[in-house]
Amino acid sequence: MGYSIGIDLGTTNSVACVWRRGNVETIAVDGRATMPSALSVRPDGALLVGQAAKKRAELEPEQSIVSAKRFIGDGKTEWQIGNKVYTPMDAAAIVLGQLKIAAEKHLGETVTEAVITVPAYFNNNQKRDTKLAGEAAGFKVLQLLPEPTAAAISYGLDRGKDQTILVYDLGGGTFDVSVLSVKGNRFQAIAVDGDFNLGGDDFDLVLVEHLISILKKRSQFDLESFLDTLLGRNKNKQLGTPHEILVAKQRLKEAAEKAKIELSQSNRTQITIPEILGVALDEEITIDTYNRLIAPLVDRTITKTRAVLKAAKLTPDDIDRVILVGGSTRNKLVRSRIAETIKEPFISDRVDEVVAQGAAIVAGSLSSPEEDLTPIEFSNVTPFSLGLRASKGKDLDIFKVLIPKNTAIPATLTQEFTTFRVNQKSVDISIFQGEATNCKDNTFVGGFRLEGIPPAPVGQPKIAVQFQMDSSDLLLVTATCSNLRSQQTLDVNLVSREDELPEAAPQADIIFLVDTSGSMSSELEGVKRSCLDFAERVISLGVDCQLGLVDFDLSFGIGYQWEIFGPMEPKKFPTAIAGLKIGRLGGAGCYVGANDTIPTINAFVKAFPRGDRLKIGILISDEVGNDANAIAQIMNILKGGQVCLYVVGVANSCHEKLATATGGQFWDIHQSRGSVNFGSLLDSIAVEITNLALTN
Residue 79 pairs with which residues in a beta bridge?
Answer: 86
677 alpha carbon, distance to own chain's centre: 36
Q: Is 169 considered catalytic here?
A: yes
Judged on CB neighbours under 10 Å (0-12, 13-18, 19+), 155 is buried
DSSP for residue 235: S
| Whether the bond into 461 is cis, omega within 30 of 0 | no
The three-state (H, E, C) secondary structure of 144-176, written as one string: EEEHHHHHHHHHHCCCCCCEEEEEEEECCCCEE
List the one residue out of 582, 550, 578 whose CA is nearest residue 566.
550
User: 100 an active-site residue?
Assistant: no
Torsion of the alpha carbons at 409, 415, 421 and 425, rounded to the nearest 10:
70
Nearest to 330 by CA among 296, 271, 303, 290: 290
CA 320 to chain CA mean position, Å: 35
Q: How many helices (H) and strands (E) does the chain have?
A: 16, 34
Those residues with Cβ within 8 angstroms of residue 372's Cβ, 6 or more apart along the chain or in another chain:
3, 19, 20, 21, 22, 364
Per-residue DSSP letter, 500: G
Cβ-contact 277, 215 below 8 angstroms: no
Question: Looking only at Cα atoms, what is the longest distance across the chain?
Answer: 104
Helix (H) or strand (E) holding 360: helix 354-366
**Catalytic member of 8, 201, 428, 656:** 8
DSSP code of residue 695: B
**Contact, 376 vs 362, CB < 8 A?**
yes
169, 204, 553, 656: the catalytic one is: 169
Q: Which residues pair with 140 in a beta bridge?
A: 113
The CA–CA distances, whole Å, from 8 to 12, 157, 610, 696 equal 11, 18, 60, 42
Contacting residues for 553 by C-beta, under 8 A, at least 6 apart: 515, 516, 517, 560, 561, 562, 583, 584, 587
Element (H, E) at 618: strand 614-620
Catalytic residue among 60, 129, 147, 688: 147
Q: Is 284 a catalytic residue?
A: no
With beta carbons less than 8 A apart as the criterion, state whether 188 and 379 touch: yes
CB 81 within 8 A of CB 63: yes
Determine contact, residues 300/191, Cβ cutoff 8 Å.
Answer: no
Instruction: Answer whether 128's CB lies under 8 Å from 493's CB.
Output: yes
CA atoms 551, 555, 560, 561: torsion sign: negative
Is 8 one of the catalytic residues? yes
Q: Among the options 54, 60, 69, 304, which is catalytic?
A: 69
Of 98, 11, 106, nearest to 52 by C-alpha is 98
Strands (E), 46-199: 47-49, 64-66, 79-81, 84-86, 113-118, 140-146, 163-170, 175-183, 186-195
- List, by residue number, the catalytic residues: 8, 69, 147, 169
